[in-house]
Structure 1
Amino acid sequence: MSEPIRFLGPEPVARRVAQRVSRRHLLAGMGVLGLGALTGCTASTDRMASSPAPDGTVENKLNLYTWGDYDDPDLLNDFKDSEDLVLQVDAFGSNEEMIAKLAAARGTSGYDIVVPTGLMIPQMVEHNLLQPLDRERIPNFSHVDPEFAGQYFDPDNTYSICKAWGTTGFVYDTEVITRPMESWSDFIEAAQNEADGRTALLEDPWEVCSIALASQGVSLNTTDDGELAECRRIVVELAPHIRAYLGNAATGMAQGTVSLLQAFNGDARQGMLEAGEGHSWRFVFPTPSANLWMDNWCVATGAPHPDAAHAFINYMLTPESAIANVDYIGYPVGTRGLEDQARQAELEDLGLIFPDQEVLDRLEASEYNEAQQTRVEILGAAQARSGA
């Protein structure tokens, strides 16, 4: 039997079929996940060390630290077999969790590849948590769409390459909320009326605050004290109407206990696919604005298997890997011609994977700024009032 892919976390759980783990939230208890006959190992929380690689080959281990269930297991298995290595995948539930672990290790975490959201990359570089990429070992970077290269957080792609991108909106049950829903103001009104006690928000301070800030028509990245004070008022007043703060809209949709959910577009798509034909859910790319986020392939400082890390990133950027991953995770991965590939492959709900240009034009990329702690405090106050 070939060496397994090892999925590690705090407690074991079964592989989820009807409920995917969100890219931003690790549902409680991510553990050793079996991939059929590939597993059957006793997992250790120690990162795996590698034997030295002969010239011209990659090391025989690779340690990946990423969001839960964020890559097609078939792709991981194919790479593992093609390079004859042991692949270990650990999952984190937030950027903050990932950064804290890397910072505490001071270059000895044992991780090779990490997958931070773009707004976190400048501070990670400043604190020496990422090492520069060797682009000569990633020739498939040529497949990256220029629209998703050279971002403000890494203008020359020195440290990062787009892994996936998406946006945030909301999904609602049209049998419960029968009127048209288009804006964040509509969301707030419905949460206080038709969906009172049946509304879920994301468990993310920037995203929750963006509902209130967008409804005011101000920048989602504002640092203005007055605008943030009004944001706090709106969010805390909304709190008694909120049933739960979730990481995955698909989970809430499947449970049937909520009718209105703030959601990442890919998670909403997954929930609709799982609901099957004739479902009553509708996803909205809300006005006037919402988040445009990007997660990124990066190599951690002190990576023990840098050759394997670069080979893996290069493999994931091939057109074949890209379309397979889009089908699995429901998010574009930043390579050129991807929408045409998806259309030819007849992937379902393409409109949720690829927002129209009119939607993209009004999105605002999230930024890490001095008001982040204020946003954290606003979410904490809302959750306390909700009893969540």
Structure 2
Amino acid sequence: MSLTLNGVIKRDMENPEGKFPAEFDTYQVVNPGDFIFCMFDVEETPRAVGLSTYYGMITGAYTVLVPFKGNNKTFLYYFYLHLDSHKMMKPLYRGLRNTIPKEHFFSFKTYVPPLDEQTTIANFLDCKTAKIDQAVAIKEKQIQLLKERKQILIQDAVTKGLDPDVSMCDSGVEWIGEVPRHWGIKRFKYLFSQSNLPTRPDDGMVTSYRDGQVTLRSKRRLTGYTEAILEQGYQGIRKGQLVLNSMDAFEGAIGVSDSDGKCTPEYVICDPMLDDLLPEYFAFLLREMALSKYIQVICNAVRQRAVRIRFNNLKKRFLIVPPIKEQKAIVSHIQTQSVKIDKAITIQEQMIEKLKEYKATLINSAVTGKIKVPGAGEQRAVA
């Protein structure tokens, strides 16, 4: 099992992700109802407490604790989840790794309502948080659908154009299929040449991201590197050049630089050889090749799940070439529609964040008695 942001989950042994040990001798048994605490790197750990609903095992690095009888384990879970969400156990941290020694954790005093109130509060929070989680899941699904819509919009625009009534023909390019009949088809080497510019003393570091952004990297991320290391093998990059990250291109790290600067040899930098080529259009087209997994097919090396693509991998490949007027129209259409979709995604993300904040506040208020939970204490009051 693993302790994650979603609580305690079962690892998939058939399709494992992440590292697995050769042997499990140091693992410890976990039963349903056991608590799993992460007592090290607490400040940096997204979730330091979990309540298991499974029989299983977990690495010995975690602390597994069993609640005493006479306490509602779900109430205790919400209580410690509240403490963890606000990192309220800082006074217990020791050492550079923010470790909580067991003796300090066991000396930490926890207030406990009567068992019937614990149960009522736990049931109340189970009901309310389930509804909140359901609302979050719906919005996450909406975000996924918006991203898919954006991807389809880009794919249709760069491969079919903007005129739905245009005459089509087979492109002869396997991953594309039919394209407008009047579009051209040329090998990459007749469209772009590989840039080989020297670096300049005042060049900043340019980096790419998997959303296609290629821009100056923050200066603080250069801390610890000497100038000699930075310059060794580095190449100059100029605003407006087509850029592919050789290792992350297959995940979308392809774009047009918005800055002058320098970058590592792991970048493929290209200049258009013709006047009627718009780098932004071909960046969108190549990203579609990448996200359609076609780039993986044309690459000859894989390292740590990252495909390395070089100029030689691309130069013999055919690309479709719309007239320059259509290239500009397609790029403008994609950018305009992407802004609208990205705005809709941002709104959904903000709503998710507010729901999560409300959930944390609700848990905090319920387990600390700041709100009256229906049914809590009523039996005692009658008695």
TM-score by length of 2: 0.21
Structure 1 or 2, whichever has the larger Rg, is 2
Which protein has greater RCO, CA pairs closer than 8 Å, 6+ apart?
1
